[in-house]
Amino acid sequence: MTLISWNIRGGSHPGVVDAVSALGSDVAVLVDCRASHVDRIVAKAADAGYPHHLASCTDYTGILMLSTHALTYGAIDQAPIRHRWLHAVSEQWGLEIAAMYGPLPETIRDEPSLKEFWSWLVSTCDLIVDRMAVLCGDFNTGISGTDGPADYHFSAGSQFRDLTAHGWRDAYRELHPGGGEYSWWNNGRGFRIDHCMLSRGQRAPSRVAYTKEITGIRPGRSPSDAAEMSTISDHAALVVDL
């Protein structure tokens, strides 16, 4: 199966579903999707061959999954920030798909703290690390010097490392140990903050790639540039063949 994980910057751009289809995905995990855009995306996705969906979206952000085959909500649904988590089960592929949207250091509205969310996440992911599962999404973190500039401090970087220490494997690093690709850029600097983690039992993927061309991204631009704001998203789409 082909899984994509992609921050769609709210979901307002009309080209989201066309891009998902062009990437040949079986399941699309669309992070940062506002509830106001869900019905339109879902309707267009159904016409494009994705008749199934799950969502945890609010008026300002959330996660939407599109699929060619049925998905059901998984049992893990008690995240401290519920719209930043979505647990799905696919009988078709015998796979649990856990999706997350990592919070930023600054608390938004009445969300619990970044530390509280990550503490819950790491302990909760222990429940599925020995099952056939993936954990994907926009983590908003990485490892300094590896997933971003050496002088940049990633918030929740230590908790991200904890996932690996607890048995989760970085799908991209399994095929690209030397790195070199990024998923988001700011002032010309690249950051790999969108990830797909594999549980212990998963075989290594056959392909893992960050696709920026289909979004229209030009890495040298700032996310606030007018030309960059006209793209589908300011994040590359992470494509994983399992």
Angle at the Cα of 172 (from 166 to 176), degrees rounded to 5?
Answer: 120
| Rounded average pLDDT over 90-108 | 95
For 113-152, the pLDDT digits (tens) are: 999 999 999 999 999 999 999 999 999 999 999 999 999 9
Angle 157-165/114-125 helices, nearest 10 degrees?
10
The average confidence (pLDDT) of the chain is: 94
| Rounded average pLDDT over 18-44 | 97
pLDDT at 236: 96
Residue with token string 């309707």: 43
Beta-bridge partner residues of 65:
29, 54
Instruction: Report the chain's C-alpha Rg in angstroms.
Output: 16
For 152-196, the pLDDT digits (tens) are: 999 999 999 999 999 999 999 999 998 889 999 998 899 999 999
Whether the per-residue pLDDT at 213 is higher than 90: the answer is: no
pLDDT band at 227 (very low <50, low <70, confident <90, very high): low
pLDDT at 220: 61
| Rounded average pLDDT over 205-220 | 86
Overall pTM > 0.85: yes
pLDDT at 221: 59
Whether the per-residue pLDDT at 219 is higher than 80: the answer is: no
pLDDT at 226: 46
What phi, psi does 189 have (nearest 5°)?
Answer: -105, 135
pLDDT at 228: 56
% of the chain at pLDDT higher than 70: 96
| Rounded average pLDDT over 41-68 | 98
pLDDT band at 241 (very low <50, low <70, confident <90, very high): very high
Secondary structure of residue 190 in the 3-state scheme: strand
Question: Rounded to an integer, what distance in angstroms lies between the CA atom of residue 160 and that of residue 179?
Answer: 17
Instruction: Out of 3.40.50.300, 3.90.1150.10, 3.60.10.10, 3.40.50.1820, select the CATH number for domain 2-241.
Output: 3.60.10.10
| Rounded average pLDDT over 61-78 | 98
